[in-house]
């Protein structure tokens, strides 16, 4: 690794984690960056909200479809090569979306962007397992997840600002700048860590056996249900909050982007904080339960208190939700705590598939609810119900015993 030494506890792990953070930034730029463009696409292409929600969700079609294979590939060939291959596909997808001319073109291009984005999170989790001891993994996973807040916030704030003078095509083309940085840093810095196990197709079990073993681990079923419902609530909220603020509350696209960005900006603080607290407590579950309860309350506030109350109320509710959602990242840390190291890739792939299925389903379903009722707040109540279901699923999970923190002395 050039001048960076791959030894346990060395500063090298933070350089590798930095690349993982940038990868998560890039993923969330593309995952959420279409949300502030929804009003533009509805107006230019004459779309229904259900069709716009499908366009938002098309990113998840391919992303989800390859999660299990991506986990197995990561376990077999390692994080670095998986990331570099995904970056190549992502670059092609961005160019295709910029050049698209109609609904079908945009749908296919966004699906290609989703395919190219699929090879960062699972390799990042494997790198965290390879570079960080158990008592640091909550913090490392939270920091890595905070890249999602950075990327989502950047997309929600900057894209509407760039669209006004440049148009949406050049604004979206600007996402190639962090892409280029990710290519260079991945090639330079990413290597297997000192805690790495020998690369194999999910160990001696093979991919199918590894998947079955991971799925049977205690609590995995509950974590998968929680991942689906919590992320459905999150993506549904991010998708329809800008349109609600523009169409119903009369805000400008830039103001709507500012309000929505507070949800993702809050996670830049709350996700790492949740990870640090869970490491210190040696427990993840209580933090998750409190987080989901507060998130559900915030969604209800958006539905019942914000309509007609003005920009300030929207800012307060969105900021509260972002700070409340810190626990959303903890199921993946719980899974890493008890899935065997050689199955981290495929086990995380299973959980991430369930997580992202929520993101696939929520925009279209909630968009059709808005079409049927004429009510954006009805969609936010739906998000609150989903967050409550996630809380209930994890409440039934028996928490794995965390590794004790090393003594100070």
Reported residue count of the chain is 409
Taking CA atoms, 257 is separated from 116, 176, 209, 277, in Å, by 25, 21, 45, 30
Hunting for tokens 């419902």 — which residue is that? 229
The pLDDT, as a whole number, for residue 2 is: 42
**Is residue 310 very low, low, confident or very high in pLDDT (cuts 50, 70, 90)?**
confident
- If you ran DSSP here, which 8-state letter would residue 399 be given? P
Residues 6 or more apart in contact with residue 311 via CB below 8 angstroms: 251, 255, 259
Residue 309 tokens, joined: 């109350």
pLDDT at 34: 80
* Most confident of the ranges 169-173, 294-298, 307-311: 294-298
Residue partners of 150: CB distance under 8 A and separation at least 6: 21, 24, 25, 28, 264, 268
Q: What is the pTM of this model?
A: 0.74
Residue 39 or 189, more confident: 189
Q: What is the pLDDT of residues 330-357, one digit of tens each?
A: 998 888 777 777 777 788 888 988 987 8
Calculate Rg over the CA atoms of the chain.
20
Sorted by sequence, the CB contacts under 8 Å of residue 231 that are 6+ apart come out as: 328, 355, 356, 358, 359, 362
Higher pLDDT, 281 or 211: 281
- What percent of the chain has pLDDT above 70? 93
| Residue 400 in tokens | 């794995």
Residue 227 has pLDDT above 90, yes or no: yes
Task: Compare 233 and 164 and report the one with higher pLDDT.
Answer: 233
Query: Superfamily assignment of 14-395 in CATH?
Result: MFS general substrate transporter like domains (1.20.1250.20)
Q: Is 406 exposed, middle or buried (CB count within 10 Å of its CB: 0-12, 13-18, 19+)?
A: exposed
Residue 386 confidence (pLDDT) above 70: yes
Where are the chain's structural domains?
A: 14-395
pLDDT for residue 212: 82
Q: What residues have CB less than 8 Å from 345, skipping those under 6 apart?
A: 70, 71, 72, 73, 74, 75, 122, 123, 125, 126, 202
Instruction: Determine the Cα–Cα distance for residues 285 and 1; give it in Å rounded to an integer.
Output: 37
**Coil, strand, or helix at residue 20?**
helix
The four Cα atoms 336, 338, 340, 343 give a dihedral, to 10 degrees, of -50
* Alpha carbons within 13 A on the beta-carbon side of 350: 25
CA distance 114 to 28: 11
Q: Is the pLDDT of residue 114 over 60?
A: yes
């Amino acid at each position: 690794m050039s001048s960076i030494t791959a030894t346990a506890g060395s500063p090298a792990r933070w350089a590798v984690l930095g690349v993982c953070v940038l990868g998560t930034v890039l993923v969330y730029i593309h995952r959420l960056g279409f949300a502030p463009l929804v009003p533009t696409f509805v107006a230019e292409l004459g779309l229904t909200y259900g069709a716009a929600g499908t366009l938002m969700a098309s990113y998840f079609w391919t992303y989800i479809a390859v999660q299990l294979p991506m986990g197995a590939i990561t376990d077999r060939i390692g994080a670095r090569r998986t990331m570099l291959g995904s970056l190549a596909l992502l670059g092609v997808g961005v160019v295709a979306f910029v050049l698209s001319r109609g609904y079908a073109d945009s749908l296919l291009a966004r699906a290609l962007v989703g395919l190219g984005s699929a090879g960062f999170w699972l390799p990042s989790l494997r790198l965290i397992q390879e570079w960080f001891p158990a008592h640091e993994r909550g913090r490392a996973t939270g920091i890595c997840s905070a890249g999602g807040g950075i990327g989502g916030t950047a997309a929600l704030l900057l894209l509407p600002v760039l669209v006004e003078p440049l148009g949406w095509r050049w604004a979206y083309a600007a996402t190639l700048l962090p892409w280029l940085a990710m290519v260079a840093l991945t090639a330079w810095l990413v290597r297997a860590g000192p805690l790495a196990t020998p690369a194999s197709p999910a160990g001696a079990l093979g991919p199918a056996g590894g998947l079955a073993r991971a799925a049977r681990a205690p609590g995995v079923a509950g974590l998968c249900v929680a991942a689906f419902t919590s992320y459905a609530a999150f993506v549904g909220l991010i998708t329809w909050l800008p349109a609600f603020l523009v169409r119903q509350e009369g805000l400008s696209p830039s103001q709507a982007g500012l309000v929505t960005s507070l949800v993702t900006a809050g996670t830049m603080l709350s996700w790492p904080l949740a990870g640090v607290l869970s490491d210190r407590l040696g427990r993840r579950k209580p933090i998750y339960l409190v987080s989901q309860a507060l998130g559900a309350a915030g969604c209800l506030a958006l539905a019942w208190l914000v309509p007609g109350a003005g920009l300030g109320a929207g800012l307060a509710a969105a900021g509260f939700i972002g700070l409340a959602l810190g626990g959303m990242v903890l199921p993946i840390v719980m899974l890493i705590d008890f899935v065997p190291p050689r199955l981290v890739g495929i086990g995380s792939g299973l959980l991430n598939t369930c997580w992202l299925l929520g993101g696939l389903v929520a925009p279209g379903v909630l968009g059709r609810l808005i079409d049927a009722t004429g009510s954006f707040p009805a969609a936010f109540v739906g998000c609150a119900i989903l967050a409550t279901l996630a809380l209930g699923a994890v409440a039934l999970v028996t928490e794995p015993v965390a590794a004790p923190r090393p003594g100070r002395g």
